[in-house]
Amino acid sequence: MPSLQNGIYRIKSRASQSQSGNQLFVGVDNSQRRGQRSGHIKEGTPIVLVRKEKITKVEVKNAGGDNYRMMFISQEASGMNLGCEKDNLQKNNKVFVTKQDVEWAIDQGSQQNCYQ
């Protein structure tokens, strides 16, 4: 996959909770102020599996180096931070995004048991 460009992408996620690893997660950041719809990915955010109705488009902008700022396009997704990691996020409870993680998440969408 070529280097990720700034733009709007649709993130795809595996639907089954029973599959081990290789899943895309959404973290809900309860400390965000109302009306704040975007921000840097934070560590220590509670992690939940993404729900099908919450799959949404995000705008991706480079935030320097291999870090990207991800802004949800849909209003109903406000208050959520998106992060992906190949390890068990439900265990280590961390959310972060680098260029490789973003590319991995988008690329995973072409595999079986994914939806968009």
Average pLDDT, stretch 23-42? 44
Residue with tokens 């949800």: 72
Is 6 or 29 the better-scoring residue by pLDDT? 6
Res 100: pLDDT = 57
Q: CA quadruple 91, 97, 98, 102: dihedral positive or negative?
A: positive
Q: What is the pTM of this model?
A: 0.32
Q: Are strands 38-39 and 68-72 parallel, antiparallel or unpaired?
A: antiparallel
Q: How many angstroms separate the CA atoms of 102 and 68, rounded?
A: 8
Tell whether the model's pLDDT for residue 96 goes beyond 50: no
Tell whether the model's pLDDT for residue 64 goes beyond 60: yes
Is 15 or 55 the better-scoring residue by pLDDT? 55
Of 25, 4, 1, 27, the C-alpha closest to 13 is: 25
pLDDT in tens, 44-59: 443 334 444 444 566 6
